[in-house]
């Protein structure tokens, strides 16, 4: 769901959770795993927590409280005087700028729409947390960290890695991602003091500024680093169970932006020690964590919470006592709070149809899947959190029952920085307003020269590889690939629209902008060069068990192919989007009438291409991905389609028609004749559409050949190759 913020040093006196002792380097003759968790909820305010503001704000904690008596609910809020009597800081209140940032700092809640959200409470037993797993194999040790956060910038992640290195310099690498929790403290800067906190007739003008809280960052960084250390200290010989499950059958996906494609796969892995004790259970889930933030209930939107990932982790830990539950955000771009039906036996048929509104969702829902024939939606946001968390945990546990046990002997981590153009005018304005105080911009495409001076957004068309002068703003971001025996995790730095990396039933003709030209008079979208599609990341992956991790290594906003960008809010000055925005009568929608609210929260149209191309390069270092050919699905009458589902004259797929790379004539591979079954987009056997007789599904990406090997079908290229 598009987030709509207003604009559009020392750790506090909190007891350390873990010992400072560096982990011993153990012999890595076998696979080992350890896990730990830590609370990253801001502690309650106390006079003792004012030690961080001594001596800048007073000679003692007592004097700080006396001189700056403004009420503070949590630690890490800067001391202030409640001049307006509103019970919390408001613009114009005097405050002690102890760290000289020239802004008021407090742990504002990230997420939701409208004004900033001051936290007033913590959801009992489900406050924001972090989970750390350390894996060892082949003489290397790597940490996987998941933090309850809307998204950590790479500069904050670098601070976590630096702190880990201080505590234990022998760890090979640390991979960090966020759960995209929109009820956690804001680490970005889009939420902060504004005019909504002022009385009705303020004597001073309204203000908007970043609320990034450096004091909370110190706390967060230290807590997370110590969790990594604790996980390493808990490391012991283990085996790994791996499976690729499906999203719970009683859940109905919802979307905020076109296209309406989701990732129904749910990869899961679980480590057990030699005594059978579960060490950790990790699930990769592709939905937003925004339940309370978008509920519209004032007491909910002001509550700090781990949202449903916390409930899912709790369900894992209740099922396997003594273990640690971990949730990785998958391809969450545009895939919002789903509708959950009770009882859990309710069956949502995942057969795509027209987009329609769904009643009963706590945050509002538009879906292409039909409502189930029975079942009641969980409409209260607080009730939704345990209901969805438990459903996801049950689906993951069910998948593990049919999983495979492996003992990895190799472990390889690759992490790479890349420089992407900052094309979004709104983000450039945010920099000018100081809303991203910790994240640098760069004036060159190599991201070597930092700039603090806002510069103009690009005014001319730009394609990848264009001269630096065509794009004055650049951001450094990060990608990563972690390969553990037959398991591979690809980290993308943002909210990835699923079709960006797993494809789906979409071709050039269905893209909002198929080419880099739009001619307003004739309303032609085909007057230029085709805009490139992003690499098919799930097909490029080289191991059987493929985890696509979003919000990983950075938070760079929404990621999608260039042709899916519309820029309906004036985000860019480039063609073809500028011509469409200034001359179109579609009222901010694309040429098909679909909304694109998430465009405003993307770095720009080319960021997704840059990220997936970088991942493609890293994956190539690990070997060869799945066999892919251009092609389409074929029905019994010989009709072709980019989707296996029946639609119009297409009666449903019985196989595929592919174009061999050698230039030979197209070839049909029918189920039972040349193919033995369907394959998912990540080259697994397709389980079919639950609740129907259909052997294909929304996860279908190709076929299983008679040899048993998967052949994935690129329908984006196939539509042109076969003349669809």
Question: φ, ψ for residue 318 (rounded to 5)?
Answer: -75, -35
Q: Is residue 135 part of a domain?
A: yes
Name the strand (E) or helix (H) holding 431.
Answer: helix 425-432
Dist CA 78 CA 317 (whole Å): 36
pLDDT for res 596: 92
Instruction: Say yes or no to pLDDT of 117 above 90.
Output: no
What pLDDT is attached to residue 663? 74
Residues 225 and 306 in one domain: yes
Residue 395's nearest CA partner among 354, 338, 355, 356 is 338
The verdict on 187 and 226 lying in the same domain is: yes
Q: State yes or no: pLDDT of 469 exceeds 80.
A: no
Domain match, 427 and 396 both? no
Residue 259, in any domain of the structure: yes
Average pLDDT over residues 491-495: 98
What does the pLDDT look like over 504-523, one tens digit per residue? Answer: 999 999 999 999 999 999 99
Where b means 16+ CB within 10 Å and e means fewer, 166-186 reads ebbeebebbbbbbbbbbbbbb
Give the residue, 222 or 112, on which the prediction is more confident.
222
Asked if residue 428 and residue 290 are part of one domain, the reply reads no
Per-residue pLDDT, 670: 98
Instruction: Say if 249 falls within a structural domain.
Output: yes
Same domain, 616 and 631: no
pLDDT of residue 664: 85
β-bridge pairing 474-484 and 487-491: antiparallel
Judgement on whether residues 232 and 369 belong to the same structural domain of the protein = yes
Q: Determine the structural domain holding residue 698 and report its residue range.
A: 627-721
- pLDDT of 462 > 70? The answer is no
More confident site: 200 or 645: 645
563 and 631 both lie in a single domain:
no
| Phi and psi torsions of 558, nearest 5° | -75, 145
- The structure's pTM equals 0.93
- For the chain, what is the mean pLDDT? 91
590 and 459 inside one domain: yes
Question: Is residue 107 assigned to a domain?
Answer: no
pLDDT mean over 117-142: 96
| pLDDT of the residue at 195 | 79
Q: Where a domain ends, among 378, 406, 434?
A: 406
Among the residue ranges 85-94, 172-181, 234-243, 253-262, the one predicted with the least confidence is 85-94
In a domain, 267, yes or no: yes
**Final residue in a domain of this structure, among 576, 604, 620:** 620
Indicate if the pLDDT at residue 15 is higher than 60.
no
Q: What angle do CA 153, 316, 234 make, to 5 degrees?
A: 70
Q: Residue 468 pLDDT more than 70?
A: no
Number of structural domains, the chain? 3
Residue 642 maps to a domain: yes
Are 527 and 521 in contact, with CB atoms under 8 Å apart? no
Does a structural domain hold residue 100? no
Rg of the chain, C-alpha, whole Å: 25
pLDDT at 201: 61
**Has residue 490 been placed in a domain?**
no
Decide if pLDDT at 480 tops 80.
Answer: yes
Q: Is the pLDDT of residue 287 over 80?
A: yes
Domain boundary among 351, 382, 406: 406
Predicted confidence (pLDDT) per residue in 188-237, tens digit: 988 888 877 787 766 655 556 788 999 999 999 999 999 999 999 999 99
Please report the pLDDT score of residue 275 as a whole number: 96
Same domain, 284 and 359: yes
Give CA–CA dist 114/40, Å, rounded: 25
320 and 363 together in one domain: yes
pLDDT, tens digit, 9 for 90 and up, residues 434-451: 899 999 999 999 999 988
For position 29, what pLDDT does the model report? 47
704 and 604 share a domain? Answer: no
For 696-718, write each residue's pLDDT tens digit. 999 999 999 999 999 999 999 99
Closest CA to 385 of 489, 322, 273, 308: 308
pLDDT reported for residue 199: 77
Given this model, what pLDDT does residue 458 score?
37
Q: Is the pLDDT of residue 461 over 50?
A: no
Token look-up 């073809």 returns 576
Q: Residue 14 pLDDT > 90, yes or no?
A: no
8-state DSSP, 220: H
Give the Å distances, CA to CA, from 133 to 177, 219, 235.
12, 20, 9
Percent of the chain with pLDDT over 70: 92
Res. 246: pLDDT tops 70: yes
Taken in order 74, 76, 79, 82, the sign of the CA dihedral is negative
Determine the average pLDDT of the residues in 159-176: 96
**Residue 320's Cα: distance from chain center in Å?**
27
Residues 590 and 636 in one domain: no
pLDDT tens digits for range 581-609:
988 888 879 999 999 989 999 999 999 99
pLDDT tens sequence across 298-340: 999 999 999 999 999 999 999 999 999 999 999 999 999 999 9
Report which of residues 197 and 645 the model is more confident about: 645
């Amino acid at each position: 769901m598009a987030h709509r913020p207003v604009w559009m040093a020392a750790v506090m006196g909190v007891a350390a959770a873990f010992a400072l002792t560096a982990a011993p380097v153990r012999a890595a003759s076998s696979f080992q795993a350890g896990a730990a968790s830590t609370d990253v909820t801001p502690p309650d305010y106390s006079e003792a927590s004012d030690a961080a503001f001594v001596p800048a704000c007073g000679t003692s904690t007592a004097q700080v409280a006396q001189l700056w008596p403004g009420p503070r609910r949590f630690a890490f809020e800067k001391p202030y005087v409640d001049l307006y009597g509103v019970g919390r800081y408001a613009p114009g209140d005097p405050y002690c700028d102890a760290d000289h940032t020239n802004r008021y700092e407090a742990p504002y809640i990230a997420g939701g729409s409208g004004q900033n959200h001051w936290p007033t409470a913590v959801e009992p037993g489900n406050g924001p947390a972090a989970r750390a797993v350390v894996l060892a194999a082949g003489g290397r040790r790597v940490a996987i960290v998941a933090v309850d956060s809307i998204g950590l910038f790479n500069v904050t992640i670098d601070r976590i890695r630096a702190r880990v290195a201080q505590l234990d310099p022998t760890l090979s690498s640390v991979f960090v991602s966020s759960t995209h929790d929109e009820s956690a403290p804001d680490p970005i800067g889009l939420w902060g003091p504004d005019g909504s906190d002022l009385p009705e007739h303020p004597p001073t003008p309204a203000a908007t500024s970043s609320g990034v809280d450096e004091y909370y960052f110190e706390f967060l960084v230290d807590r997370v680093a110590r969790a990594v250390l604790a996980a390493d200290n808990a490391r012991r010989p283990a085996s790994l169970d791996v499976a690729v499950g499906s999203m719970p059958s009683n859940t109905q996906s919802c979307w905020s932006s076109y296209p309406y494609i989701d990732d129904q796969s749910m990869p899961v892995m679980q480590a057990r020690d030699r005594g059978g004790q579960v060490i950790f259970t990790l699930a990769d889930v592709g939905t937003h964590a925004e339940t309370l933030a978008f509920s519209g209930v004032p007491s909910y939107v002001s509550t700090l919470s781990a949202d449903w990932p916390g409930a899912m982790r709790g369900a894992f830990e209740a099922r396997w006592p003594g273990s640690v539950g971990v949730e990785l955000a998958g391809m969450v771009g545009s895939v919002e709070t789903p509708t959950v039906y009770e009882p859990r036996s309710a069956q949502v048929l995942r057969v795509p149809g027209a987009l329609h509104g769904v009643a009963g969702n706590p945050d509002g829902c538009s879906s292409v899947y039909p409502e189930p024939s029975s079942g009641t939606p969980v409409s209260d946001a607080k009730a939704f959190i345990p209901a969805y968390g438990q459903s996801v945990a049950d689906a993951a546990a069910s998948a593990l029952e049919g999983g495979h046990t492996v003992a990895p002997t190799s472990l390889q981590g690759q992490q790479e920085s890349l420089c992407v153009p900052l094309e979004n005018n709104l983000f450039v304005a945010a920099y000018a307003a100081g809303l991203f105080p910790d994240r640098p911009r760069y004036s060159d495409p190599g991201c070597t020269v930092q700039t603090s001076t806002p510069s103009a957004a690009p005014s001319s068309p730009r394609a990848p590889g264009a001269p630096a002068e065509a794009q004055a703003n650049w951001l450094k971001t990060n990608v990563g690939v972690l390969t553990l025996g037959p398991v591979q995790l690809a980290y993308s730095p943002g909210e990835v629209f699923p079709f960006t990396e797993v494809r789906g039933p979409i071709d050039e003709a269905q893209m909002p902008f198929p080419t880099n030209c739009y001619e307003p008079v004739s309303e032609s979208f085909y007057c230029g060069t085709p805009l490139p599609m992003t690499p098919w990341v799930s097909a490029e992956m080289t191991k059987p068990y493929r985890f696509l991790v979003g919000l990983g290594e950075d938070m760079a906003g929404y990621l999608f192919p260039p042709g899916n960008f519309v820029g309906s809010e004036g985000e860019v000055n480039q063609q073809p989007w500028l011509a469409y925005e200034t001359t179109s009568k579609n009222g901010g929608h694309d040429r098909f009438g679909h909304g694109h609210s998430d465009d405003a929260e993307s770095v720009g149209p080319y960021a997704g291409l840059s990220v997936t191309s970088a991942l493609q390069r890293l994956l190539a270092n690990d070997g060869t991905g799945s066999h892919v050919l251009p092609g389409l699905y074929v029905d019994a009458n010989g009709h072709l389609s980019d989707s296996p589902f029946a639609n119009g004259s297409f009666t449903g797929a019985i196989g595929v028609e592919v174009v061999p790379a050698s230039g030979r004539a197209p070839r049909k591979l029918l189920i039972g004749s040349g193919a033995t079954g369907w394959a998912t987009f990540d080259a697994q056997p397709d389980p079919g559409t639950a609740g129907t007789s259909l052997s294909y599904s929304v996860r279908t990406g190709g076929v299983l050949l008679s040899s048993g090997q998967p052949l994935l079908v690129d329908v984006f290229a196939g539509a042109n190759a076969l003349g669809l």
